[in-house]
Structure 1
Amino acid sequence: MRAIARMVLGTALSLCFSFVATAQTSEVPTPPVTTSSPEVSFKFDRVGLPVPQFTLRIHENGVGTYQADQAEIPATPTAMRGQAAQHVDRPINLTSGTVAKIFKDARELNRFNVECASKAKNIADTGTKTLTYAGSDGSGSCVYNYSENKTVQSLTDIFLGIVSTLDEGRKLEFLHRYDRLGLDAEINSFADEVKEGHAIELGTISPTLAAVADDTAVIQRVRLKAAKMLELAAEGSH
């Protein structure tokens, strides 16, 4: 009987040690899988503007963020109310064509390891701009008010065009809620900006455009313009 008991005890202890060893092995953390997605960012600073500071960050897969500090918006005779200063932080998704152009230009500029700023004197202050590249293939940054480099100018126009659309989206949201009559002049002005190529990536404000287009309380021509912009966004042409 004692021999049997010792055999049973030995088997139990062996199983116990085996379980503990397995548990300890399973508790060893595995290193997280990380992927480095190159990022291009554009930062803008200029005191006195409705949006005096903003930063756009774009990853090569088209996903990005828009962070901005919007100044206080005073009340208008028609809206009868203003809007307090606010910080904006929102995700965005860009079309593949725009993203490809941004990263192509960034790499042509050696990931911004170049002199961006013009050396000319007495140039008007159009805002301090900073282009930055960060990725496993390198990094760099350059700062300028005005640049004579055509590729830098092209990138600047792209980023300002995106931000123009994002800012317009907030204006349309505000007017849709508090001043529907004001939508008419605003969306006409916006349509001109889109036509001239000064406002791009309409898909970033698709929900706002859809809300205006679907609202039967909004005058018909405004709804039609919003619907047309939605079509352009769906086509990826703007």
Structure 2
Amino acid sequence: MAAVVICAGLAAAQGTPAPPPPPGPGPAAQTASISFLLESAHRDPPRISLTIDLLGHATYVAEEAPTEAASAGPSAPSASAAPYRVLFDIAPNTRDRIFALAQALDYFSRDFEFRKHRVADTGLRTFRYRDAVRQGTTAFHWSENKLIEELAGIFESIALTQDYARRLTYLRKYDKLGLDANLKRMEELEHAGFLGEIQAIAPTLRQIAADPTVMHVARERAQRFLDRLPPAEALASPAGESSR
């Protein structure tokens, strides 16, 4: 995924909506979810989605671009990789902020696209809200609405963290020498506020930090991420199985 993302903006801005009440036993609380889809031919991966429910359960899916063989026509053998899919949980305060923003945005029942003049194409963003009594969808490339830009930033920051976890897992298996450069870039992105919910990838960071076959400098970088997390979050259990 390209590093050009909107700042997560996790801190509440002045006059922002209050969080919704904790999930209760009602059907809406049991089924409420928000999904975010980002599509751009200029990004890697070009299509990602992130779905979060009111209990804080999240599903991240990344779809790779098809290779030339896969896009040559129906007679060509398919070379598209299977989507990468992982399940994890997000922090309660992040979940509450996400659903408070969705409520303030009328559950995506309005048009938020900026149409005054052309802007740089950073991808098409689509939000969908669904519960037992309502649903809404909105799509935009960029918006003047600060709340929906904040919400997009939160989702993109979480997705970027998960994409780096995917890269780290691959590099640890096939190219350990590439781990340090990616971890260094993650440190830069974290300091700039572009990585969200780092505790969700603590298991991956622990594996790198404890692997004696990994370069010492990379192990130290992974450990520094863990040291910055609260103890309970640094010991988070592994995320759900991915599809590949």
Is TM more than 0.5 here? Answer: yes
Cα distance in 1, alignment partners of residues 82 and 65 from structure 2: 7
Question: Contact conserved, 1:210 with 1:226, CA < 8 A, in 2?
Answer: yes
Q: CA RMSD in A?
A: 2.3
Cα distance in 2, alignment partners of residues 173 and 62 from structure 1: 24
TM-score (norm 2): 0.74
Question: Contact conserved, 1:213 with 1:223, CA < 8 A, in 2?
Answer: yes
Of residues 52, 55, 66 in structure 1, which corresponds to 2:60? 66
Q: Secondary structure at the match of 2:228?
A: helix
Instruction: Tell me which residue corresponds to 1:95.
Output: 91
* 2:196 equivalent to 1:200: yes
* 2:30 equivalent to 1:39: no
Instruction: Tell me which residue corresponds to 1:150.
Output: 146
Cα distance in 2, alignment partners of residues 233 and 96 from structure 1: 15
After superposition, residues 155-234 of structure 1 pair within 5 angstroms as 155-234=151-230
What runs of 5+ residues in structure 1 fail to find an aligned partner? 1-32, 74-82
Alpha-carbon distance, 1:203 to partner: 2.2
Alpha-carbon distance, 1:72 to partner: 6.8
Which has the larger share of helix?
1
Q: Secondary structure at the match of 2:225?
A: helix
Question: Contact conserved, 1:43 with 1:131, CA < 8 A, in 2?
Answer: yes
Cα distance in 2, alignment partners of residues 233 and 42 from structure 1: 26
| Highest RCO, 1 vs 2 (Cα 8 Å, sep ≥ 6) | 2
TM-score (norm 1): 0.76
Alpha-carbon distance, 1:230 to partner: 2.0
Instruction: Tell me which residue corresponds to 2:117.
Output: 121
Instruction: Tell me which residue corresponds to 1:104.
Output: 100
* 2:126 equivalent to 1:130: yes
- The alignment covers a number of residue pairs equal to 196
Question: Contact conserved, 2:180 with 2:221, CA < 8 A, in 1?
Answer: no
Cα distance in 2, alignment partners of residues 198 and 72 from structure 1: 27
* 2:43 equivalent to 1:49: yes
Cα distance in 2, alignment partners of residues 158 and 85 from structure 1: 27
The one-letter amino acid of 1:66's match is Y
Alpha-carbon distance, 1:34 to partner: 8.7
